Amino acid sequence: MNHRLDITKKNILHYRYARFGYKNGKNGSFILPKQSLYKDDLKLNWGQTMNARLQELETEAILLIRETYAAFKTPVVLYSVGKDSSVLIHLVSKAFYPMKPPMPLLHIDTGFKFPEMIEFRDRRAAELGFDLVVRRNEAAIAAGTNPHDHGIGSCCGALKTEALLSALEEGGYDVALGGARRDEEASRAKERFFSHRDSFGGWEPRQQRPEPWFHFNTLLDDGESMRAFPLSNWTEQDIWDYIQAESIELVDLYFARPRPVKRQGEQLIPVINADEASEDVSIRYRTLGCYHCTAAQASSADTLEAIITETAQAQLSERSSRLIDHGVSSMEDKKREGYF
């Protein structure tokens, strides 16, 4: 039988106990499951081979996930279908097991996602028991917004940033959890675990709040919101090691397969339209986004073991293949405008 501790939303114990307990959505009580329950779930495939570093990172991430759920009224989890957000939703599921995940997934669909990502998104959300919310900027899509005619910055602003801000406002979400890591890119290295956003969704790195000894200021004025990053201290290598240890399923695009591409300078750009000239190359993706703006890398790494070895030998950041990070509109500029 599960142990229960009855506490209300207004009680300060709710805030602290959320780090270690599981909230019952019906009456505000918390359920403490026995550790043995972690071993038998068919969908989460609990791993048995984590080293001490992964155990520490997992504990930290689960603490932050539960802290987020306790401190905010309407949390949501952003799900890009990439490897980092796949780890994040696994951790959310684990943080509240055996309950159904109490936070919905939000996916921003630009209309330019790989078809494999959309199929995987729907199936994986259903398997793990998440409510899935999909939002698009239909007006911009109907107007034919694309990076070739409008530029990467304008396209990303309309299809990603505007769609995200509208979805957060429409859903009344006061915090959004994401899988960003500090080692990915310079502006993300400036982020705290809890990233304050103003009433317009904008980010000001010089006004982020201190977080001494895991004490967080999560208070918000009307219209303000937070972004939460439980994977901040993880590296790309940690992500892959954890995926292997926990047997986390990923979309197949991460594994090397012969796929049609075109060469654009030194970049290998995916070809989606069968009528477009292309060549088949054994490629995989280190990071996933819109197919117009995501370059592949030539690779023969078709297993997790091979990918882990390849990642350990990499000399460039995984985001070096993301075209949206380059040019006149930097990642920091996009984040100031509300991009995740």
Indicate the residue type of 242: Y
3-state helix, strand, coil in the chain (%, to 5): 40, 15, 45
Tokens, residue 86: 């796949």
Looking at per-residue pLDDT, the higher value among 5 and 219 belongs to 219
Radius of gyration of the chain (CA): 20
Q: How far is CA 304 from the centre of its chain?
A: 20
Q: How confident is the model over 200-211, as pLDDT tens digits?
A: 878 788 888 999
- pLDDT, one tens digit per residue, over 116-171 is 999 999 999 999 999 999 999 999 999 999 988 888 888 988 999 899 999 999 99
| Residue in this structure with the two tokens 């899988």, named with its chain if needed | 179
Q: d(Cα 17, Cα 294) in Å, to the nearest integer?
A: 42
**Burial per residue of 26-53, b for 16 or more beta-carbon CB atoms within 10 angstroms, e otherwise:** eeebbeeeeeeeeeeeeebebbeebeee
**Domains along the chain?**
51-238+329-337 (3.40.50.620), 250-325 (no CATH)
Residue 106 phi, psi dihedral angles, 5° rounding: -120, 120
CB 139 within 8 A of CB 312: no
Confidence class of residue 241 from pLDDT cuts 50, 70 and 90? very high
**The model scores a pTM over 0.75:** yes
The confidence score (pLDDT) of residue 324 equals: 53
